[in-house]
């Protein structure tokens, strides 16, 4: 990964500075996130990460855990830096969302392997399938997890196509759960900003 995309300690605010900046920063991030939450049907969503969303998560974790020592900050950076896209890919958290606990449990048993069946597609090109859960395995023999971390690697031609106005679609193709969506211009443009 290009170092320019990763965070270091000098990129972060101290706990005191963050306490002052937090209300305004939080509003900015929540507004930014709206165009980066892509519903794949009624019960799953891709939440796309970027420098702003990851910085917010790091600052929030440091605040909640009251971490101010260098070692603790480095641990948070190590945990969150892999979530920052590096210019030729998108990184997202994929959440399977059922409010009813029993229904969710039953569905997760039926959805084994779904994390490998999520895709993005630039108009005129083949689908790009998710590379999932590189940090740790989240599926076992009996069920999948309700949360997966995904990376979508894009060829230069796809990136050029997006920048030239090609449409962008996303979806999931599992035997028990198949949905797709064409992204709005606002969402597409927000994601294009992740690409060099």
Asked if 95 contacts 48 with a C-beta cutoff of 8 angstroms, the reply is no
Stated length of the chain: 196
165's CB contacts (< 8 A; 6+ apart) are: none
| pTM (two decimals) | 0.88
pLDDT tens for the chain, 196 residues long, are: 344 578 888 899 999 999 999 999 999 999 999 999 999 999 999 999 999 999 999 999 999 999 888 888 898 898 888 889 999 999 999 999 999 999 999 999 999 999 999 999 999 999 999 999 876 666 667 899 999 999 999 999 999 999 999 999 999 999 999 999 999 999 999 999 999 8
Helix residue ranges per DSSP H, the chain: 15-34, 51-65, 70-80, 101-110, 156-163, 185-192
Topology of domain 35-49+85-196, CATH: Immunoglobulin-like (2.60.40)
Give the pLDDT confidence score for residue 138 in this predicted structure. Answer: 66
Cα separation, 107 vs 99, in Å, equals 12
Give the pLDDT confidence score for residue 4 in this predicted structure. Answer: 58
What are the phi and psi torsion angles at 129 (to 5°)?
A: -90, 150
Domain limits, the chain: 1-34+51-84, 35-49+85-196
């Amino acid at each position: 990964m290009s170092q320019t995309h990763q965070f270091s300690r000098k990129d972060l605010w101290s706990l005191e500075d963050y306490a002052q900046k937090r209300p305004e920063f939080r509003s900015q991030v929540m507004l930014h996130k709206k165009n980066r939450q892509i519903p794949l049907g009624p019960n799953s969503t891709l939440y796309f990460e970027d420098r702003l969303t990851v910085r917010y998560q790091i600052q929030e974790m440091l605040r909640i855990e009251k971490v101010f020592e260098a070692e603790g900050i480095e641990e948070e950076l190590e945990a969150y830096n892999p979530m920052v896209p590096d210019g030729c890919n998108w990184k997202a958290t994929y959440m399977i969302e059922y409010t009813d606990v029993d229904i969710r449990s039953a569905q997760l048993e039926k959805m084994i392997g779904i994390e490998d069946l999520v895709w993005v597609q630039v108009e005129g090109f083949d689908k790009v399938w998710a590379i999932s859960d590189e940090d740790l395995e989240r599926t076992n023999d009996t069920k999948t997890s309700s949360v997966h971390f995904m990376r979508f690697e894009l060829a230069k031609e796809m990136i050029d196509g997006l920048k030239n106005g090609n449409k962008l679609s996303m979806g999931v193709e599992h035997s028990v759960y198949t949905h797709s969506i064409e992204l709005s211009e606002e969402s597409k443009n927000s994601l294009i900003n992740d690409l060099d």
